[in-house]
Structure 1
Amino acid sequence: MDVVEFGIYIKELRKNAGLTLSKLSEVSGVSHPYLSQIENGKLKKYPSSEILIKIAKHLNIHYAHLLKKVGYIDEGTIMVDGELLVSEEEYEAFKKTRDERYENEEDEENLFDLFNYLEIKDITYKGDYVTDNQRKLIVSYLDALFSKTDKED
């Protein structure tokens, strides 16, 4: 998708959201002239990721979709709420390791148990490896969150 096609796409999203350029400018904090340049394909390059993040929610689209449209994020990247987690290759390697851990059917029910994921040595949160102390804290928070008194409510 080139800059002109992207501008047409943004304009279509804006109209579908029932917004004028002025209103989108007001709610997003992006200047009216700059939004007009985006929509009319007048920019030499795509808008920055910061601009796309500012306008996305007002266009009723997750900003990750806009970032993918312009190539800031690879199509195979796995995301949760726009947070880059792992590449598709890393995810497939993780699934293979996970599947090997739970080969027999008795273990299958534990496959998606969060506690088991916390046992994986090389898990990360926002790019940082989770330490043993952090794991203990996470487990204690989860234990409190899922306490038996809560289950009775």
Structure 2
Amino acid sequence: MKTSPSTFGIFIKERRKNLGMSITDLSTLSQISEDHLCMIESGTFKQGVTDQVIKLLASALKIPPTQLLIAIGYLDGKWASSDYNRQIAFQMTMLKVENAWLRHELQLAKNVSVV
């Protein structure tokens, strides 16, 4: 079951607000334009959210990408728990996504200079 774009947008907006971020702050941190973020939050974007956007948003919002994948409906926790093979497939997917996210975070940390 896919989550509607507006539900995903509400999730993004609530997380952003809980972190005390403005749309400009999120745009700066995620390197996603304010216009694109506004379309995501309002549910008016026409195309699907790309892997890159998921990774950038997850990093900026300080959550694992898997939370965003579940919020947008790409992953379903109920599906994953219905049988053993699905649990394994789900866990493998999670590990791949988390690994990509951690590599991205490590790269960002390497790019930050220590003062």
- Identify, as 1 or 2, the structure richer in strand: 1
| Amino acid aligned to 1:60 | K
- 8 Å contact 2:27–2:34 — kept in the other structure? yes
TM-score by length of structure 1 reads 0.49
Q: Give the partner amino acid of 2:28.
A: E
Higher mean C-alpha deviation, range 55-64 or range 27-36:
55-64
Cα 1:30–1:53 change in 2 (3 A) is same
**Unpaired segments of 5 or more residues in structure 1?**
85-153
* Corresponding residue for residue 26 of structure 2: 24
Are 1:82 and 2:84 an aligned pair? no
Match of 2:38 in 1: 36
Q: Provide the secondary structure at the position in 1 that maps to 2:52.
A: helix
Q: Is the 8 A contact 1:49 1:72 kept in 2?
A: no
Where relative contact order (Cα < 8 A, 6+ residues apart) is larger, the structure is 2
Cα RMSD after superposing both structures: 2.0
| Residue ranges of structure 2 left out of the alignment (5+ in a row) | 81-89, 101-115
Q: Among all aligned residue pairs of Structure 1 and Structure 2, give the percentage whose two residues are the same amino acid.
A: 33
Structure with the greater alpha carbon radius of gyration: 1
Deviation at 1:29, TM superposition (A): 0.6
CA offsets 1:80-135 (integer angstroms, 9 cap, x no match): 36249xxxxxxxxxxxxxxxxxxxxxxxxxxxxxxxxxxxxxxxxxxxxxxxxxxx
1:59 counterpart (45, 58, 61): 61
**Count of aligned positions:** 84
- TM-score, with structure 2 as normaliser: 0.64
Q: Select the structure that is richer in helix.
A: 2
